[in-house]
Amino acid sequence: MIEKKHITNRFIKYIKIDTESNPYNPAFPSSEKQWDLAKLLVEELEQIGMQDIDLDENCYIMATLPSNIDYEVPTIGFISHIDTSPDFTGKNVNPQVIDNYDGKDIVLNKEKNIILSSSYFDDLLQYKGQTIITTDGTTLLGADDKAGITEIVTAMEHLIQHPEIKHGKIRICFTPDEEVGKGAHLFDVAKFGADWAYTMDGSQIGELEFENFNAASAKVTLTGKIVHPGYAKGKMINSMLIANEFIATLPVQEVPEKTEGYEGFFHLHDIKGNVEETVLDFIIRDHDLELFEKRKKLMQKIANDFNNKYNQEIIKVEIKNQYFNMKEKITPVMHIVDMAEEVMKDLGITPLIKAIRGGTDGSQLSYKGLPCPNIFAGGHNFHGRFEYVPVESMIKATEVIIGIAKKVTKK
């Protein structure tokens, strides 16, 4: 049995360490503060009795739980990421623990009138009677993915403390910079040495995912001409107004707030500009590879049309692929998904098998030769002030890890 207070305290200890990654720094890790949690985790892994603990020069932590059986079974792995999203601050996280949640609105910050509404975020209602950890409304929580780290460390600790539970060799890894798309870039699959792995990086209880978006970033640079506004007729080119026109030319219904399921989108997430130059940062997403390629071509075509209109290169588009749909790599080894599904059912959890409207380290790792489906970590409303996690979901995720370790010995 996983002790509720113990897992709560561990999670809170992790989220109080600011590990926000930096999308504009090419270094590994992209922010020095990720080392703070990494070093703490090394100490904890030593304390609970893990072996072969290694923190490398790029802030990847790997460790081993040796097999306690006398026959060969596959080596499995569990992976989570250290960093939190740069979309919202993770500094000075002040968590609130709500015991026996009553299903009503939760006041996160009375002074600023910030409320986690159960009518707006109706997923809250399924956790009535449980213990909910929220923010104070001024930061994100960090359940993405410190809930996953908490669950992996707690599961390894439980297996070490209960040697009567039989398991094969287990490898774990905590990666930096997942939130900025680099978490798997320097992951050494050969060194990790697992036959397959699971990322503990999903959302609500029951999620089990082996499909994700194909993903690209797009930087659109628009060049204007500054002239004194009193004498600008026929001379000034205002890059900000052209940027507005460019944005409006994209399909207006194909944005995150108007899509769901397998529907792809264009997402404008940052604008910087003045008359002379405006830079638009987009992400492009689609589960279908053919549609994904069409989206990239459409953005370039719109830019070309504008350049032809102005008879000069007024718009430049730079598109970079980030990751691809791991379905292609997981489908040939579907038994690893089936195993996780069986464990969830054994624990009374209803599996929610669906496509990720995002990506995980597992999508890139699957293409590097390590098949890696994604399992729920329990959190909701990632990347913002309304993020929360039920403690009971973290306990169940921990039990899923232990259950998979047990089931491998019987397959």
d(Cα 4, Cα 264) in Å, to the nearest integer? 39
Catalytic-role residue among 18, 44, 83, 145: 83
In contact, 53 and 42? CB cutoff 8 Å: yes
What distances in angstroms separate CA 358 from CA 100, 288, 297, 362, 374, one per listed residue? 31, 13, 21, 11, 11
Beta bridge partners of 106: 116
46 is catalytic: no
In contact, 148 and 81? CB cutoff 8 Å: yes
d(Cα 166, Cα 354) in Å, to the nearest integer? 31
Catalytic-role residue among 44, 144, 151, 178: 178
d(Cα 219, Cα 317) in Å, to the nearest integer? 6
d(Cα 49, Cα 185) in Å, to the nearest integer? 29
Question: In the sheet that 51-55 helps form, which strands lie side by side, from edge to edge?
Answer: 51-55, 61-65, 170-175, 76-81, 196-202, 374-376, 207-211, 352-355
56 is catalytic: no
In contact, 250 and 302? CB cutoff 8 Å: yes
Catalytic residues: 83, 178
